Structure 1
Amino acid sequence: MASGFEGLAAAIPQLAGCSLMLEHPQYLVVEKPSGLLSQPGLGSHQNDSLITRLQRCCPELRLVHRLDRDTSGLILVARNQGSLRCLSALFEARQVQKLYLADVIRPLSGRRGRIQLPLARLQRLPPVYGPHPGGKPSFTLWRKWSPDGDCRRLWLRPLTGRSHQLRAHLAAVGAPICADPIYSACNDPGPMHLHAHALSFRDPFDHRRVRVRSELPIWAQPD
């Protein structure tokens, strides 16, 4: 096991089962696999998570944001409490651009569009979110992977960061994400087809633009 940050690049894939995509003196960007919680849930059966695994390597590490258990992709991790405050402020000010890739069960009409529906939690266990007049304002931009009218692969850019936003928005317009265990009635095998593919933000420490892009998930790779 690494002591402090020594040997971090080698230790993280072994201990956390994820890929280290960017190492910075103040933060990391790691790629979480589908099926792993970002942080512990309720009950001992949900103790295993990305951050608990990472903290076995370096106890100082802190999550800046989260992904749903069934969503794969990039997560920003602070290396200490001070950097956590700086990086969290970027998310609160909506200065972090996130790009997701998804497959949906039916094509949307048009080449690109915007989903603008307020979201609220409709059910507690399991948590289910959906459009509600009293919900929080929520905005999602989408664009098709290709100009083919039947294309069911989308690029998604959330302009707000609500719980289950992408999943709930797409389900609300009749195009739930493939293999979504909550919002799709289709019991597709394999991981949910939602992947946090890219992150972009201005580094609050050296003010350079940071852009991180992951590899395509297995379900999106060409045959």
Structure 2
Amino acid sequence: MEQINVKIKNETGRIDKVLSERLKGHSRSQIQQWLKEENVRVNNELVKSNYKVKQEDEIVINVPEPEVLDVLPENIPLTIVYEDQDVVVVNKPQGMVVHPSAGHPTGTLVNALLYHIKDLSSINGVIRPGIVHRIDKDTSGLLMVAKNDKAHEALAEQLKDKTSLRKYVALVHGEIGHDKGEINAPIGRSKTDRKMQAVIEGGKPAVTHFEVLERFSDYTLVQLQLETGRTHQIRVHMKYIGYPVAGDPVYGPRRTLKGNGQFLHAEMLGFKHPTTGEMMVFEAPLPEIFEKTIEQLRNIEE
């Protein structure tokens, strides 16, 4: 195990920030992970990321051995919308899980990325290389993937600062009467079903904006823009206001439209390029089954 020794001279501020500036080649996220794993001691004492360094502090970092990659590359077809040396934008199909887990060890987006993309950032470890944000298994659409740690941190910062653009299209139950709206309701783990999320008191802040695109008998097509990125946010928020996403097996009604899960698609993704600073915006067409379902609803109206 490699050991790094740092003595504080005139620096001030949080230890994670100070170390990321002193240790070139090690990202702030990586240092935060070492602190979380109790691999960093100051004057022989364990500290957290928000510890403020003092003059003459002696910091010892025990750098853990790199994890052996046990997630295997798989030759799974992947729609790559854009790629350069820093970032990849992919159009994820319905039915594909983003990264491996106990219930989905293979066949994920990460398995496909490892086969098709040479380099991926290491910030999220071996299970989620390159993954900056996620969308649900049965939600289709655009995802940004980082090819190096510097790009990863820049993209993650944009998500945190709410400067990235994420627009979705959803088909929901019911006819929404007003053309636009904002849902500002905190989301956390449901107190009645631990596998579900819900709007709860004391949950994490969550804001979703929506605009009606088209109305049908008993259904509405809406465009949604995320201001925050909570787990299942759109699905939970739309259920909360009484217009659950059609086809949603978890948050929707039993009688719903038949498809490949919820009719929810990440249609538009925009971000500032981590190196050039250029604003980049990408769009992905609706999946075929989504388009066909809309056409069927239009035909019923006629």
Percent identity reads 29
Q: Aligned-pair distance for 1:126? A: 6.7
Cα pair 1:138 1:159 within 8 Å, conserved: yes
The alignment partner of 2:229 has SS state of coil
TM-score by length of 1: 0.85
For residues 90-112 of structure 1, give each alpha carbon's deviation from its aligned partner in whole angstroms, at most 9, with x where no partner exists: 11221111000000011222111
Work out whether residues 212 and 223 of structure 2, in 8 Å CA contact, stay in contact via their aligned partners in 1.
yes
After superposition, the Cα gap between the structure-2 partners of 1:161 and 1:86, relative to the gap in structure 1 and judged at 3 Å, is same
Q: What TM-score, normalized to structure 2?
A: 0.64
User: Are the aligned partners of 2:239 and 2:251 in contact in 1 as well (CA < 8 Å)?
Assistant: yes
- Specify the alignment match of 2:66 in structure 1: none
2:278 matched to 1:219? no
The Cα of 1:144 is off from its aligned counterpart by 0.5
Report the counterpart of residue 67 of structure 1 in structure 2: 135
Alignment match, 2:91: 31
| Number of residue pairs the alignment of both structures matches | 209
Structure 1 unaligned regions, length at least 5: 1-13
- Cα distance change, pair 35–124 in 1 and its aligned pair in 2 (3 A): farther
CA distance in 1, matches of 2:85, 2:119: 13
- Residue in 2 aligned with 1:17? 77
**d(CA) in 2 for partners of 1:182 and 1:139?**
21
Which range moved further: 49-58 or 155-164? 49-58
1:111 touches 1:147 (CA, 8 Å); kept in 2? no
Alpha carbons 1:145, 1:151 under 8 Å: kept? no
The DSSP-based 3-state class of the residue aligned with 1:17 is coil
**Which residue of 1 is the match for residue 176 of structure 2?**
108
Q: Structure 1 residue runs of 4+, over 6 Å off?
A: 147-150
Q: Which residue of 2 aligns with 1:193?
A: 263
Letter in 2 for 1:25: Q
Partner of 1:104: helix, strand, or coil? strand
**Which AA in structure 2 matches 1:198?**
M
2:238 partner SS: helix
Q: Provide, for residues 135-167 of structure 1, a one-character-per-residue CA deviation record: whole Å limited to 9, x for no partner.
A: 111111000113779761000001111110000
- What residue ranges of structure 2 are gaps of 5+ in the alignment? 1-73, 121-129, 296-302
Q: CA-atom RMSD, angstroms?
A: 2.2
